[in-house]
Chain A
Amino acid sequence: MRARFALLAVLAVGASAPAIGAPARSTNHVVIVDQMTFRTTALVVAPGDTVTWVNNDIFEHSATARDHSFDLELKPKSRASVTLRKPGVLAFYCRYHPGMKGIITVRR
């Protein structure tokens, strides 16, 4: 009985305590696109976070990294995401409408 209790206690602690070395929870950051505009032009995200562009516009756009690390097609009323793992500063723009641009800073 005592052993069973001890086992249950260990399991309970194990279930509630975070595992050593487990990654922090990632966050999904949303960029709304409409009326020819990225509604967020400067984001700060952590490594492992995801950025989702939601195209509410009537036009086709893209979210394209200047360093070619991602190139997402955004048809009207669609969305696309990228997970960013490497710290740094990423400039992105729309390939079809280059005046639309933004910056993502990835830092811990």
Chain B
Amino acid sequence: MFRNLVAIAIPFVLCAPLAAQSAAPSDPQIAHIAGVIDITAAKQALAKSHNAKVRAFATEMVRDHQAVNDQALALVKKLGVTPEANPTSKALSDAAATKITAYAKLSGTAFDKAYVDNEVAYHKTVNGALSGTLIPSAQNAELKSLLQTGLKLFQEHQMHAEHLAKTLG
């Protein structure tokens, strides 16, 4: 399921503020991996859920996150960088894979609740990282703008997930 993940690196000049943190991932790498993870989770929801509102939410996740990923890929292509994996992106992928495996054993309302609750938690985590670390650290103007737009989008997703979680009880 994750064999098509594309890890993205940016040139040293763009990640200079993060250079001191040798384990820190590049900004587009985090944004892209986070988006891919949510697309994978959404596709699992579309395969398993029969709840119209959960399916509508998952469809929105696929559509919106794909748009961000396409923009991120276009940016790194424009910058002429080569994708590369790193410990943090691997940790994110591994954690997501564990969730996907666990949720595969669920069905019906149990799956719906687990998926949506995780979406709330996931978006809170990503939004915290974007606003607290990644956006302030980004030096490339286009990258910063993409991250800022991504934050607005993910904040909307978080609100949508929270509202949906309340309706699922």
Q: Which residues of A contact B (CB under 8 A)?
A: 35-37, 58-60, 76, 96-100
The answer for the CA separation of A96 and B102 in the assembled complex, in Å, is: 28
- For this complex, 13 residue pairs linking A to B, each with C-beta atoms less than 8 Å apart, are A35-B145, A35-B148, A36-B152, A36-B153, A36-B156, A37-B152, A58-B149, A59-B63, A60-B67, A97-B156, A97-B160, A98-B159, A99-B155
Q: Closest residue to B160 on the A side, CB-wise?
A: A98
Q: Closest residue to A34 on the B side, CB-wise?
A: B149
The answer for the CA separation of A58 and B148 in the assembled complex, in Å, is: 14
The answer for the CA separation of A63 and B159 in the assembled complex, in Å, is: 19
Asked if B60 lies at the interface with its beta carbon under 8 angstroms from chain A, I say yes
Q: Which residues of B contact A (CB under 8 A)?
A: 60, 63-64, 67-68, 70-71, 145, 148-149, 152-153, 155-156, 159-160
**Chain B residue contacts of A60, Cβ below 8 A:** 63-64, 67
Total A-B residue contacts, Cβ distance less than 8 Å: 35
- Which of B71, B156, B159 touches A58 (beta carbons < 8 Å)? B71
Q: Across the interface, do B67 and A36 meet the contact criterion of CB distance under 8 Å? A: no
Q: Closest residue to B152 on the A side, CB-wise?
A: A36
The answer for the CA separation of A60 and B68 in the assembled complex, in Å, is: 12
**Chain B residue contacts of A58, Cβ below 8 A:** 67-68, 70-71, 149
Q: Closest residue to B67 on the A side, CB-wise?
A: A58
Q: Across the interface, do B71 and A96 meet the contact criterion of CB distance under 8 Å? A: no
Q: Across the interface, do B155 and A59 meet the contact criterion of CB distance under 8 Å? A: no
**Chain B residue contacts of A100, Cβ below 8 A:** 156
Q: In the complex where A36-B149, A58-B70 touch, is A98 in contact with B156 (Cβ < 8 A)? A: yes
Q: Across the interface, do A99 and B67 meet the contact criterion of CB distance under 8 Å? A: no
- Which of B60, B63, B149 touches A35 (beta carbons < 8 Å)? B149
The answer for the CA separation of A12 and B148 in the assembled complex, in Å, is: 60
Q: Closest residue to A100 on the B side, CB-wise?
A: B156
Contacts A58-B149, A59-B64 given; 14 further ones with Cβ under 8 A? Answer: A35-B145, A35-B148, A36-B149, A36-B153, A36-B156, A37-B152, A58-B68, A59-B67, A96-B64, A96-B156, A97-B153, A98-B156, A98-B159, A98-B160
